[in-house]
A and B are shown apart, each in its own frame.
Chain A
Amino acid sequence: MQIQPILAALKRHKAGTILIALQIALTLAIVCNALFIIKQRVTHLSRATGIDEQNILSVRNQWVGKPPSQQVSGLTATDLAALRQIPGVIDAYSTNSYPLRQGGWSEGLDYKPNQDHSTAHTAIYFSDEHTLDTLGLKLIEGRNFRAEEIGRMDMRDKLAPPTIIITRELAHKLYPDGSSLGKVVYLSNNPTTIIGVVDQLEVPWVDTWASPWSEQSTLVPVRLAMSLGSFYLIRTQPGQLDAVTKQVSKALYGVNRMRVIDPKDGVQSFSQTRAKAYARDRGMAILMGVVCVVLLAITAAGIVGLTSFWVGQRRKQIGVRRALGATHRDILSYFLTENLLISLGGVIVGALLAIGMNMWMVSHFEMARLSLTYVVAGVVVLLLLGQAAVLAPALRASRVPPVEATRSV
Chain B
Amino acid sequence: MLAYYLRLGLRSLRRNPVLTGLMIMAIGFGVAASMTTFAVFRAVSGNPIPWKSGQLFVPQIDGFGPTGRDPGDNGEPPDALNYQDTMALMRAHPASRQTALYPVAIAVVPADASKQPFSVSGYAVTTDFFGMFEMPFQYGNGWGANEDDKRASTVVISSKLNQKLFDGANSVGRNIVLDNRDYRIVGVAKSWDPRPRYYDVVNTSGFGDSPDFFMPFSRAIDLQMDTDGNNNCNKAPDGGWDAWLQSTCVWLTVWAELPDAAAVQRYRSYLDGYAADQKRAGRYNWAPNNRLRNVMEWLDHEHVVPQETKVSLLVALGFLVVCLVNTIGLLLAKFMRRSQEIGVRRALGASRREIYTQFLAEASMVGVAGGVLGLLLTAGGVYSIGLVFEPEIAALAHVDFGLIGLTLLVAIGATVIAAFYPTWRAAQVQPAWQLKSN
* Residues of A participating in the B interface, judged by any CB pair closer than 8 Å: 15-16, 19-20, 22-23, 26-27, 29-30, 33-34, 37, 62-66, 116-117, 155-159, 188-190, 227-229, 253, 257-260, 262, 279-280, 283-284, 286-288, 291, 294-295, 298-299, 301-302, 305-306, 309-310, 312-313, 361, 365-366, 408-409
Residue B369 at the chain A interface, CB threshold 8 Å: no
B322–A19 touching, CB < 8 Å? no
Nearest chain A residue, comparing its CB with the CB of B421: A15
- Quick one: which of A16, A157, A190 contacts B240, CB cutoff 8 A? A157
Q: Can you spell out 8 A-B residue pairs with CB atoms less than 8 angstroms apart?
A: A19-B332, A26-B321, A30-B318, A66-B225, A190-B236, A284-B311, A301-B326, A302-B329
Nearest chain A residue, comparing its CB with the CB of B121: A228
Residue B25 at the chain A interface, CB threshold 8 Å: yes
B179–A64 touching, CB < 8 Å? yes
Residue B29 at the chain A interface, CB threshold 8 Å: yes
Which residues of the other chain, B, contact A312 by a CB distance below 8 angstroms? 337
A19–B119 touching, CB < 8 Å? no
Nearest chain A residue, comparing its CB with the CB of B388: A283
B307–A366 touching, CB < 8 Å? yes
B319–A260 touching, CB < 8 Å? no
A15–B425 touching, CB < 8 Å? yes
A159–B322 touching, CB < 8 Å? no
Which residues of the other chain, A, contact B240 by a CB distance below 8 angstroms? 156-157
Smallest beta-carbon distance B152→chain A, Å: 20
Q: Identify which of B307, B421, B438 gathers the most chain A CB atoms within 10 Å of its CB.
A: B307
A116–B67 touching, CB < 8 Å? yes
Which residues of the other chain, B, contact A258 by a CB distance below 8 angstroms? 109, 117
Residue B375 at the chain A interface, CB threshold 8 Å: no
- Quick one: which of A23, A228, A310 contacts B326, CB cutoff 8 A? A23
Smallest beta-carbon distance A407→chain B, Å: 12
Which residues of the other chain, B, contact A279 by a CB distance below 8 angstroms? 390-391
A-B contact number at CB 8 A: 158
Residue B323 at the chain A interface, CB threshold 8 Å: yes
Smallest beta-carbon distance B305→chain A, Å: 11
Interface of A is mostly: helix
A260–B329 touching, CB < 8 Å? no
Cα A15 to Cα B333 in complex, Å, equals 10
Which residues of the other chain, B, contact A306 by a CB distance below 8 angstroms? 329-330, 333
Residue B166 at the chain A interface, CB threshold 8 Å: no
Residue B287 at the chain A interface, CB threshold 8 Å: no
Nearest chain A residue, comparing its CB with the CB of B70: A117
A298-B323, A305-B19 given; A286·B236 CB < 8 A: no
Cα A63 to Cα B308 in complex, Å, equals 37
Nearest chain B residue, comparing its CB with the CB of A276: B390
Smallest beta-carbon distance A112→chain B, Å: 14
In chain B, positions 101-120 with a C-beta closer than 8 Å to chain A are 105, 107, 109, 116-119
Residue B365 at the chain A interface, CB threshold 8 Å: no
Nearest chain B residue, comparing its CB with the CB of A27: B322
Nearest chain A residue, comparing its CB with the CB of B307: A365
Contact with A along B309-322 (1 / 0, CB 8 A): 01110011011011
A259–B26 touching, CB < 8 Å? no
Cα A20 to Cα B116 in complex, Å, equals 66
Residue B259 at the chain A interface, CB threshold 8 Å: no
A284–B239 touching, CB < 8 Å? no
Number of interface residues of B (CB under 8 A): 61
Cα A23 to Cα B332 in complex, Å, equals 14
Residue B354 at the chain A interface, CB threshold 8 Å: no
B329–A16 touching, CB < 8 Å? yes
Which residues of the other chain, A, contact B311 by a CB distance below 8 angstroms? 37, 284, 361, 365
- Quick one: which of B105, B228, B238 contacts A158, CB cutoff 8 A? B238
Nearest chain B residue, comparing its CB with the CB of A305: B330
Residue B192 at the chain A interface, CB threshold 8 Å: no
A284–B322 touching, CB < 8 Å? no
Nearest chain B residue, comparing its CB with the CB of A283: B388
A189–B236 touching, CB < 8 Å? yes
Beyond known contacts A62-B107, A158-B237, A294-B33: 14 more, CB 8 A cutoff = A30-B315, A64-B107, A64-B179, A65-B179, A116-B67, A156-B241, A258-B109, A260-B116, A262-B119, A283-B388, A298-B25, A298-B29, A299-B326, A305-B18
Smallest beta-carbon distance A285→chain B, Å: 9
Nearest chain A residue, comparing its CB with the CB of B179: A65
- Quick one: which of B107, B179, B336, B388 contacts A286, CB cutoff 8 A? B388
Residue B88 at the chain A interface, CB threshold 8 Å: no
Nearest chain A residue, comparing its CB with the CB of B391: A279
Smallest beta-carbon distance A271→chain B, Å: 17
Residue B328 at the chain A interface, CB threshold 8 Å: yes
Which residues of the other chain, A, contact B225 by a CB distance below 8 angstroms? 66, 227
Smallest beta-carbon distance B133→chain A, Å: 24
In chain B, positions 199-257 with a C-beta closer than 8 Å to chain A are 225-226, 228, 235-241, 243-244
- Quick one: which of A20, A62, A284, A365 contacts B329, CB cutoff 8 A? A20
B306–A280 touching, CB < 8 Å? yes
Which residues of the other chain, A, contact B228 by a CB distance below 8 angstroms? 228
Cα A302 to Cα B18 in complex, Å, equals 11
